[in-house]
Amino acid sequence: MKSFALRSLAALLSFGLVAGASAQGTDWPAKQPLTLIVPFGPGSSPDTMARAVAEEAGKTLQQTIVVQNKPGASGNLGTDAIAKAKPDGYTFGVSITGPLVNNTVIYKNLPYQPATDLTPLTLAVHQYNVLVVPANSPIKSLPDLVAEMKKPGAKLNFPSTGAGTVSHLAVELLLDRVGGKALHVPYKSSPDAVTSLLSGDTTFAALPPVAAMPMVQDGRLRAIAAVSAKRLSFLPDTPTMAELGYPGVEGSGWIGFVAPAGIPADVKTRLNAALTQALASPAVGQRLKTMHMEPAPTSPEAFGQYMAEELQRWSPLIKRLNLAEN
């Protein structure tokens, strides 16, 4: 009898614990505001995008989403903060190609590993680079540029926003494909890279659209290709690399939402739903359009697969260019 009573008590306690855990899960996110970590400073592309999406997603979740900027170490600092946050769904963040893919190859002692320490939520936006030349350049098209790249003693050079960034690697990918040569000139920022083109210090570039498009629109730069597989909404008449015979030569400074590894499955599902709904909303779409961003919401699984594909794309190139720390 005593044994039966103990078993019954254990069963009731077990049921209570499970029910309590379930209740806690269904309470999310009512307990407190959510924190969205951005590994870059206020006004940066990831920050501006994150704030637009957070405002809309907060309406769906009926909870405030507070953006917290943690810049530093090329995005590694803030991305590490996301990875080390409590996995209860109340802290998540955005990050980009570098901290989520390229930096895993470049940095020897990265304090986190995206594949094991982070949970993909959704890809957010693509920012496909635009291949541009100065308006007064004799290079009028991608075939012209490739011909120059392949000439013996080619004198071409190109700026980037830093070694190992998409603006650097996308050009190296093209050079590999065509067997051409051009000198890489790294700069600290997109405005510096654009200035080098306009002053004639460099000859061509694959730049983020937020940097390139104002100069294309006012006639100071000429867009000769979209570094993408599909035509871009803001450059509908400009052919893509794939159309011009170079499929696979793509370069997107994409941004995605991630959370700490181990968040509850139902919370992950609800976060994904709120974020993808926000990305698909007309209000957010209009704000992203002004930044030349292409919304690209996905499932968590599809975003994880995309990051794996990006690692396969860039890792061999990073190693060949000796960009990885010894």
pLDDT tens digits along 280-314: 999 999 999 999 999 999 999 999 999 999 999 99
Neighbours of 147 (CB within 10 A): 14
What pLDDT is attached to residue 24? 45
What pLDDT is attached to residue 26? 61
Instruction: Give yes or no for a contact between 102 and 325, defined as CB atoms under 8 angstroms apart.
Output: no
Record the pTM. 0.87
For 232, list phi and psi in degrees, rounded to 5.
-90, 145
What pLDDT is attached to residue 75? 94
Instruction: Give yes or no for a contact between 194 and 213, defined as CB atoms under 8 angstroms apart.
Output: no
Q: Rounded distance, CA 154 to CA 181, Å?
A: 7
Packing angle between helix 45-61 and helix 282-290, nearest 10 degrees?
170
The alpha carbon of 174 is separated from its chain's Cα centroid by a whole number of angstroms, namely 21
What pLDDT is attached to residue 73? 92
Q: Which residues fall within 8 angstroms of residue 154, CB to CB, at 6 or more apart? A: 148, 180, 181, 182
What pLDDT is attached to residue 318? 96
3-state DSSP of the chain = CHHHHHHHHHHHHHHHHHHHHHHHHHHCCCCCCEEEEECCCCCCHHHHHHHHHHHHHHHHHCCCEEEEECCCHHHHHHHHHHHCCCCCCCEEEEEEHHHHHHHHHHCCCCCCCHHHHEEEEEEEEECECEEEEECCCCCCCHHHHHHHHCCCCCCCEEEECCCCCHHHHHHHHHHHHHCCCCEEEECCCHHHHHHHHHCCCCCCEEECHHHHHHHHHCCCEEEEEECCCCCECCECCCCECCCCCCCCCCCECCEEEEEECCCCHHHHHHHHHHHHHHHCCHHHHHHHHHCCCEECCCCHHHHHHHHHHHHHHHHHHHHHCCCCCC
Measure CA of the first residue to CA of the last residue in the chain; give whole Å.
Answer: 69
Map out the domains of the chain with their CATH numbers: 33-126+253-320 (3.40.190.150), 130-226 (3.40.190.10)
- Residues in the chain where the model's pLDDT stays below 70: 1-26
